[in-house]
Amino acid sequence: MHRTSSVLVSRARELPELSEARTVAAYVSVGGEPGTLPLLDDLHARGVRVLLPVLLDDNDLDWGRYEGPESLAAVRHAGRMTLLEPRGPRLGPDAVLAADAVLLPGLAVDHRGMRLGRGGGSYDRVLARLERSDADPALVVLLYDAEVLARVPSEAHDRPVHAVVTPSGIRRFPGGGKARRDT
């Protein structure tokens, strides 16, 4: 698991959308998801402003700053999982609009760049908020190689991601938004 996280950090550094970002909205992985903490630490150490979600009662997301592992608190959400969330001040749901890149959690992504989420709708709200504001950050998913599938279910409101980072490399998707330079 630690080796996979190290490889993902190395791969993510190859992605200009992350390596050149000033602000990245990310998340702390849970369960069997690829570990994000090493990437969060790497971004923070390089002076990147890292925003992490705070789950609200209505499943929307507020945001707070990541200032290192000590800035996280385990928060148990009624009837749901325990998440590591930032301890500091809340910045509001619109804080994500300042992000140059958004790391999205996912269960899988397909050849079109369509992401299968966890089903709570939190990131659908984030993506809708970005679209309404005309914000155009890079949308990136970290997954294991086996989670890149031929096709995942999608609905009319779903939007493709720009790239997926896996241990074996980076894959970009046509129609995923802004033109990006190849890696």
Spatial separation of the C-alpha atoms in residues 6 and 9, rounded to whole Å: 5
Which ranges of 25-177 would DSSP assign to H, the alpha helix?
A: 37-45, 122-132
Interval 13-22: pLDDT, tens: 889 999 999 9
In the chain, the number of structural domains is: 1
Q: What is the CATH number of the domain that holds 7?
A: 3.40.50.10420
Label residue 175 by pLDDT band (50, 70, 90).
Answer: low
Binding residues for ATP, as ranges, are: 115-123
Binding residues, as ranges, are: 28, 33, 115-123
In a domain, 159, yes or no: yes
Q: Could you tell me the two tokens for 156?
A: 């009319």
Burial of residue 160 (CB within 10 Å: 0-12, 13-18, 19+) is: middle
- The mean pLDDT value for 31-36 works out to 89
DSSP structure string for 123-166? HHHHHHHHHHTT---EEEEE--GGGEES-----TT----SEEEE
In a domain, 182, yes or no: no
Distances in Å between the Cα of 141 and the Cα atoms of 80, 88, 89, 161 are 22, 25, 26, 7
The helix, strand and coil proportions of the chain, stated in percent and rounded to the nearest 5, come to: 25, 25, 45
In a domain, 180, yes or no: no
In a domain, 177, yes or no: no
Binding residues for substrate, as ranges, are: 28, 33
Task: Note down the domain range covering 126.
Answer: 2-172
Is 157 a residue whose pLDDT tops 70? yes
Q: Are 161 and 153 in contact (CB under 8 A)?
A: no
Q: Quick one: pLDDT at residue 183?
A: 37
